[in-house]
Structure 1
Amino acid sequence: MIDIIIVDDQVIVRDGLKMLLSLNEEIRVIGEAANGEEVLSLLSIKVPDVILMDIRMPIMNGIEATKVIKAQYPNVKVIILTTFNEDEYIFNGLKNGADGFILKEIIQSIKAAYEGTLMLHSQVTSKLINVLQNVSEYSSPSAMKKKDLSKLLTPREIEVVEQIMQGKSNKAISTALFLTEGTVKNYVSRILDKLELKSRSELIIFLKGE
């Protein structure tokens, strides 16, 4: 069962999402909030697997909330929900640790994020590529963008990175490399630690920028 919290300032949107998600027996909505501050308070009581996060909300918006949540609850997946397909929101959301940024296909994206796959709508993917191509020099947290990864990672870790860059989930990687899913998770954690990155999203942006 995948536990979900919905964050949106419009009650009608939250109700609509709850109704939609209730149609899938693998998904359970365990809470809702109207802004970033409310969801942070809610997380002190209950921690979900996935948060559906609107961007434009009063008091604390979705980008700010995502940054705090990923710092305090790194295992919680955050999927940004919006109808505003703007470059700045897309890039800042991913940079702050969002596990996906979607306009549609909600249930599919929840399952993908839960399994460790970065899920992007096709329109958002093209936007992100354009943003990355126009950035003259992306400043990664580690400032190691130009270094040879073979000097930082083991051959097995590089194999895992290659699988991540193909958009595969931990489960899919474990099948491809004949490893347990727990071993894959450990590899991913070590890779992120070595590169001083916080999430798979940052890893993808880091490598795309090379």
Structure 2
Amino acid sequence: MTEAPGRAPSGEREPIRVLVVDDQQLFRRGLTMLLAVEPGLEVVGEAGDGVEGVALAETAAPDVVLLDVRMPKKSGIEACLAIKEAVPSAKIIMLTVSDEEADLYEAVKSGASGYLLKDSSIEEVAQAIRVVADGQSLISPSMAIKLIDEFKSMSRPERETGTGLRLTERELDVLRLVAQGHSNKEIAARLFISENTVKNHVRNMLEKLQLHSRMEAVMYAVRENLLELP
């Protein structure tokens, strides 16, 4: 992404540019005001529906977009797809009251990197923004439990030949640690490799499996019985 005017000079860490899209004006304004005082974050705009959110994302080129799931004119899922197409570098966090597994599944399929419930604290939201901006994934703990339960019930009784075999043993090691919620730094320490090597393994996994995010890779792995889960 080209450097936007007014960004921090070279040598300083640039703020993470955030766009907030939610049809509830009071919630949207409150969230925007709270995020504006978080260190390292810069709110570059806010929108009240999916259509406005997509248009604003195209002009503001945010690093992270906070999207409600259910909005007028264009749903959060539809907006997520459109934003990922228009601004591929943007990371999407769904911030919603919906704890339906179907909404989470559709959000992940649409390219979302995070899924938080609106009862999350501002600290949790700010941390989620930093995590996904760094290329990782994050979902609310309560939704993570539902996600694992949902995909354990859908998982195949026996591993089919040729699915997991597309991945190397080291890539499977990385995938297992990603599924356990470890960051790139933690994975690197556990496997005695560099963070860049971890990122390369994750990228290779996604390309091989034709998936769009770390979270989607975990869902795939559970479904295909590639992970040992409790």
- TM-score, normalising length: structure 2: 0.78
Q: 1:128 to 1:161 in 2, by over 3 A?
A: closer
Q: Distance in 2 between matches of 1:201 and 1:73?
A: 19
Does the CA contact (< 8 Å) of 2:69 and 2:95 recur in 1? yes
Consecutive unaligned residues of structure 2, counting only runs of 5 or more, are: 1-14, 225-230
Deviates more, 1:111-120 or 1:14-23: 111-120
Question: In structure 2, what residue type is equivalent to 1:173?
Answer: I
Name the residue aligned to 1:78.
92
Name the residue aligned to 2:5.
none
Q: Distance in 2 between matches of 1:126 and 1:177?
A: 26
Secondary structure in 1 aligned to 2:77? helix
Q: 1:166 to 1:122 in 2, by over 3 A?
A: closer
Alignment equivalent of 1:50, drawn from 56, 64, 71: 64
Q: 1:177 to 1:193 in 2, by over 3 A?
A: same
**CA apart distance, 1:16:** 0.4
Deviates more, 1:116-125 or 1:96-105: 116-125
- Structural mapping, 1:17-166, within 5 Å: 17-103=31-117, 104=120, 105-135=124-154, 146-148=160-162, 151-166=165-180
Percent identity at matched positions? 38
For residues 31-75 of structure 1, the C-alpha deviation after alignment (integer angstroms, 9 at most, x for no partner) is 111222212212222211211101111110101111232344343
Deviates more, 1:46-55 or 1:157-166: 157-166
- TM-score, normalising length: structure 1: 0.84
Deviates more, 1:34-43 or 1:197-206: 34-43
Question: In structure 1, what residue type is equivalent to 2:83?
Answer: I
Q: 1:205 to 1:72 in 2, by over 3 A?
A: farther
Task: Kindly indicate whether residue 31 of structure 2 is the aligned counterpart of residue 12 of structure 1.
Answer: no
Question: In structure 2, what residue type is equivalent to 1:95?
Answer: K
Q: 1:146 to 1:68 in 2, by over 3 A?
A: farther
Does the CA contact (< 8 Å) of 1:95 and 1:201 recur in 2? no
Question: Which one has the largest radius of gyration?
Answer: 2
Secondary structure in 2 aligned to 1:107? helix
Q: How well do the aligned residues superpose, as a CA RMSD in angstroms?
A: 2.3
Consecutive unaligned residues of structure 1, counting only runs of 5 or more, are: 138-144
Q: 1:161 to 1:72 in 2, by over 3 A?
A: farther
**CA apart distance, 1:180:** 4.0
Q: Distance in 1 between matches of 2:169 and 2:103?
A: 35
**CA apart distance, 1:168:** 2.2
